[in-house]
Amino acid sequence: MGDARTKAELFEHLARVGRALASGKRLELLDLLAQGPRGVADLAATAGLGVTTTSAHLQTLKRAGLVATSRSGTTIRYRLAGDDVAALYAHVRDVADTHLPDVTAARTRYLGQDADEELGRAELLRRARAGEVVVLDVRPTTEYLAGHIPGARSIPIDELADRIAELPADVDVVAYCRGAYCVFAHDAVRLLTGHGRRALRLEQGMLEWRLAGLPVATASG
């Protein structure tokens, strides 16, 4: 039978994960790494942090077993330690959104009101197979190459205004980005509808698509 000391030790080890998650910026880094492996400089630039600060956050996540690394020459790339880490991040996010009114209010301020129409994953697959929609990935190109919905076209959100003509005008466009808290798809729908195009958002995004076990294509096929 275990004693109080070993029990306390066990729970302290469990708490290492909780302490690693107790930072908005570290959660944001997990959100970015859910899109695919990345280097420190890339993560720093995307998250709006200094390289030194980003490296420190990543080391905290690594000590908690949430991220792992690989080396290519002098470059170290970080990745999530497993799909269970992506699921953990998604659960933390969803629990907070369900039980903290401040999260819901902040999400609305950031993403805007959900006035644009949303399409579920099953319906997207059905309509894409029937040729009724164009699936549009508006994440940065590196994230698209790391993994995307099969058949999706890549036009990063910061290029979309200049490339609308590349999208056919006779079918609906379904835009998606990183996940439930990614603003890119919202911005894409607003931009496209403002130009007279019929546009919808995919329910949630690439993180949730992966967690649902749906097919993912990469640059290598």
Q: Which residues are catalytic?
A: 177
Torsion sign (Cα): 108, 53, 26, 45: positive
Q: In what order do the strands lie in the sheet with 199-202?
A: 118-119, 199-202, 172-176, 133-137, 153-154
Determine whether 188 is exposed, middle or buried from the number of CB atoms within 10 Å of its CB (0-12, 13-18, 19+).
buried
**Residue listed under structure tokens 């006035």:** 115
At 71, is the secondary structure helix, strand, or coil? strand
Distance CA 61, CA 91 (A): 17
Pairing mode, if any, of strands 172-176 and 133-137? parallel
Where are any strands of DSSP class E within 20-93?
38-39, 67-72, 75-80
Is residue 207 a contact partner of residue 31, using CB atoms and an 8 Å limit? yes
- In the chain, how many H helices and how many E strands? 11, 8
